[in-house]
Amino acid sequence: MAMTRPRKTGWFGPACVLAFSLATAGEEQDAAPRQLYAEPSPLARVIAGADGASEVARLDLAVLIVEALVSAYESELDEALREEARDAGDRRKLGRWQQSVAPVLSELRVARAALYGAREVELHADRHGRVLLLIDGRPSWIAWPRVTVQNRLEREIVAAFCSRHGCPAEGTGAARQPESVQGGWVLSQGRPPGWESVNGLRCEFPDLSSRAEREATCRALATDLYTLAAALQEAARRGQRIEWPHLALDAGPAGVRQRVVVTERGDYVSVAVPELAGNPVDWAEVRRWLQARSEGRSAVATVLGSADAR
């Protein structure tokens, strides 16, 4: 996705901390776990489908991204300046962090101004969902100060862009978007009360208290499972093998997306399933439901039991 304008004088130097130099990764060893699929972020999906948008719209998207980055880093710096260090060691760490962020923020502000005078501005999303900005050929991987706010900020950018220009169709290669969740409460003699989706995903609870909150939890779990099912379907479409007995959530550090392991050696798909990560789901039931869905069969699975439900 590129925009071309008459050339003006240069913009910011290669020392910009935001920009990570493009590097060629070494060949992975055969035994190393591989990422088989990465769910594109909302921003990456818009970029992938924006080739048909006007030059003005594409430039506006680049400006929205850089403006959001500037705001995010300003907030981080302001918060750090207000923070009170507990001891000398903390003060030194805080000072080093402030010294590292200040140049990033300065370069981002220069980049923001440079967008309007650049001859060529490009936005790309790679197969792992990472976003690359090029201003007159100089690459910058979009790096947010905290992964915990990335999804929210990207969704805000997408909402602003779509409100101004409309959203283009998604690019190819993305998993099918999950359907909306439909279902209702099911009361059966001899079983705890439960909320069940029309596709057979069931959450059981000790009683009927806090029904709205519990229904919302089960709907969110179902949404995550629809999303994961779509990601697994896309990985399989690309010729990747799903080893169902080994399917499990990788209990790694929190991030925008979670790793779901799908093979014995640890190959995985990267997908945003925060409710699956944050609730004590029954993964045996999850695997059974996902495998049945992939094979076109119906199945009822109690993914959250009453003993584990909140």
pLDDT for residue 65: 94
pLDDT band at 86 (very low <50, low <70, confident <90, very high): low
The answer for residues whose C-beta is within 8 angstroms of residue 51's C-beta and 6 or more apart is 1, 168
pLDDT for residue 48: 82
pLDDT band at 53 (very low <50, low <70, confident <90, very high): confident
pLDDT for residue 128: 65
Which of the residue ranges 43-57, 228-242, 263-277 would you say has the lowest mean pLDDT?
Answer: 43-57
User: CA 188, CA 212: separation in Å to the nearest integer?
Assistant: 19
Q: Quote the tokens at residue 260.
A: 């779901």
Does residue 212 form part of some domain? yes
pLDDT for residue 274: 87
Does residue 31 form part of some domain? no
> Are 199 and 281 members of one domain?
yes
pLDDT for residue 118: 85
User: CA 159, CA 43: separation in Å to the nearest integer?
Assistant: 10
Name the more confident of 117 and 281. 281
> Are 136 and 202 members of one domain?
no
Does residue 73 form part of some domain? yes
Are 262 and 246 in contact, with CB atoms under 8 Å apart?
yes
pLDDT for residue 2: 54
Name the more confident of 171 and 78. 78
Does residue 263 form part of some domain? yes
> Are 207 and 251 members of one domain?
yes
> Are 118 and 201 members of one domain?
no
User: CA 268, CA 235: separation in Å to the nearest integer?
Assistant: 10
> Are 68 and 204 members of one domain?
no
pLDDT for residue 196: 96
> Are 157 and 243 members of one domain?
no
> Are 158 and 239 members of one domain?
no
Does residue 30 form part of some domain? no
Over residues 25-29, the mean pLDDT reads 42
Name the more confident of 203 and 145. 203
pTM greater than 0.75 (yes/no): no
> Are 261 and 115 members of one domain?
no
> Are 123 and 159 members of one domain?
yes
Name the more confident of 154 and 22. 154
Domain containing residue 154: 2-22+40-165
User: CA 179, CA 233: separation in Å to the nearest integer?
Assistant: 14
Which of the residue ranges 120-134, 167-181, 190-204 would you say has the lowest mean pLDDT?
Answer: 167-181
Domain boundary at 165, 191, 219, which?
165
Question: Helices in the chain by DSSP H: which ranges?
Answer: 42-48, 55-82, 88-115, 147-165, 211-237, 274-278, 283-294
User: CA 9, CA 304: separation in Å to the nearest integer?
Assistant: 60
pLDDT for residue 85: 60
Domain boundary at 165, 198, 227, which?
165
> Are 228 and 115 members of one domain?
no
Which of the residue ranges 55-69, 194-208, 210-224, 252-266 would you say has the lowest mean pLDDT?
Answer: 252-266
pLDDT for residue 132: 87
Q: Chain-centre distance of CA 43, in angstroms?
A: 9
pLDDT tens digits, residue range 238-283?
Answer: 999 999 999 999 977 666 688 999 999 999 999 888 899 999 999 9
- The number of domains in the chain is 2
- Whether 42 has a pLDDT exceeding 90, the answer reads no
- 33 burial level (CB within 10 Å; 0-12, 13-18, 19+): middle
> Rounded to 5 degrees, what are φ and ψ at 303?
-80, -20
Does residue 33 form part of some domain? no
pLDDT for residue 21: 33
pLDDT tens digits, residue range 159-181?
Answer: 899 899 887 544 444 555 556 78
pLDDT band at 17 (very low <50, low <70, confident <90, very high): very low
pLDDT for residue 25: 37
User: CA 117, CA 8: separation in Å to the nearest integer?
Assistant: 6
Does residue 77 form part of some domain? yes
> Are 161 and 13 members of one domain?
yes
Does residue 175 form part of some domain? no
Looking at every residue in the chain, the average pLDDT score rounds to 82
> Are 46 and 154 members of one domain?
yes
